[in-house]
Homo-oligomer: A and B are copies of this chain.
Amino acid sequence: AEIVVLPGDGIGPEVTAAAVEVLRAVGRRYGHEFRFVEKPIGGAAIDATGEPLPADTLAAAQRADAVLLGAVGGPKWSDPKATVRPEQGLLAIRKALGLYANLRPVKPHAAALGASPIKPHLLTGVDLIVVRELTGGIYFGQKQRTADSASDLCEYSVAEIERVVRRACTLARGLRGRVTSVDKANVLETSRLWREVATRVARDEFPDITLEHQLVDSMAMHLLAKPREYDVIVTENMFGDILTDEASMLAGSLGLLPSASLGSSGAHGNAKDSHQKVIGLYEPIHGSAPDIAGRGIANPYATILSAAMLLRHSLGLEDEAKCVEKAVSGALDAGIFTADLAPDGHGVGTRAATAAVLEQLQ
């Protein structure tokens, strides 16, 4: 299998290197041959080519079996007057690959509960997954700027809502059969459409699934007050961005949360170039953390867990995925904490954390 690696900026190169090491070890252990092709994206790509998503990077991603991404962005490219920004590379690749469903599982690890701001008794048993719509909404609507105003259009089509709700309901079938759809239907027209479509899809196509609706403001509370009550949460792009970062606090640190962005088979933005494979892009939900970049102290667990999702969703290697997840759990159980997880702020570096995972893999 060919895996395109997009290290990106900041700590991106450090954490993707760690995940590649783990994937190589899994390959050796299970007898798979993984080929890794590295390409620039984000700020690194702007520096190299002037563009945040060079055509060559996109083409490689389209050909690959899966894409592993670090993170993009940093102060170097954050001039408010800049016309190209690293984040555009990330948004563009999500859109071009048709990755409409961003899966963000949150399952607090017992050994890391100390790092969560939430009271531990609320966290035991929490095991939820947010399915965030990733290629629509206000992220991709028309933007305008005049001398004295600015606007962003939030738009959703029925088809865009249907496919992501279907993905969430399908996922819920393998779990406890419950889906919570989050919107702001008391104010937004897009949310009223969202609620209608979600209701219809669940009723007509998933009679075995229990669908509930929550307003986004209430959800921001309930996620903290009773996180155990949620299984699969499905929501639009902007709400998903906010709620998943909030939900990361249940797990103690952003540094533990992986994500998978999935499309449909053959729906890679460019219809002519479609093939029957589901391309997936896997990335930690944390950012490029420029303040700690290059210091060897970044937490690699979220990227390693993203590699596990890659094994599961793009390569169909469930045992291998579980093996990686168990290895990370083992390292956490053994108390191998990076600084973001260590109660006193002192922790091991990226290499030591990666080595601990590799050791658990044996």
Contact = CB atoms under 8 A, between A and B. Distances in A.
Interface of A: 73, 80, 85, 87, 91, 117-119, 122, 138-139, 141, 143-145, 148-159, 184-190, 192-193, 195-196, 216-218, 220-221, 224-225, 238-239, 241-246, 248-249, 254, 287
Contact of A158 (B122, B149, B224): B149
Contacts of A139: 187
A240 to B, nearest CB: 10
B138 A193 contact: no
A145 to B, nearest CB: 6
Q: Is the interface of A mostly helix, strand, loop or mixed?
A: helix
A195 B330 CA distance: 44
Nearest to A221: B245
A141 B151 contact: yes
A73 B184 CA distance: 14
Given A145-B193, A189-B144, A154 B155 contact: no
4 closest A-B pairs by beta carbon, nearest first, are A150-B193, A143-B189, A217-B245, A220-B246
Nearest to A157: B149
A348 to B, nearest CB: 21
A187 B136 CA distance: 13
Give the number of copies in the complex. Answer: 2
Nearest to A188: B152
A148 B238 CA distance: 21
A325 B254 CA distance: 37
A159 B148 CA distance: 8
Contacts of A243: 220
Given A118-B117, A122-B117, A216-B242, A155 B159 contact: no
A189 B224 contact: no
B156 A149 contact: yes
A150 B191 CA distance: 8
B254 A221 contact: yes
A189 B151 contact: yes
Given A118-B119, A246-B246, 11 more contacts: A91-B187, A117-B119, A138-B138, A143-B188, A151-B154, A151-B155, A151-B189, A152-B153, A152-B188, A153-B154, A220-B246
A224 B195 contact: no
Contact of A154 (B117, B118, B154, B225): B154
A236 B185 CA distance: 18
A185 B238 CA distance: 13
Contacts of A148: 157-159
Contacts of A244: 217
26 contacts: A73-B186, A85-B186, A87-B186, A117-B118, A117-B119, A117-B122, A117-B224, A143-B189, A145-B192, A148-B158, A148-B159, A149-B157, A149-B158, A151-B154, A151-B155, A152-B153, A152-B189, A152-B190, A153-B154, A184-B238, A216-B241, A217-B244, A220-B243, A220-B246, A221-B254, A239-B242
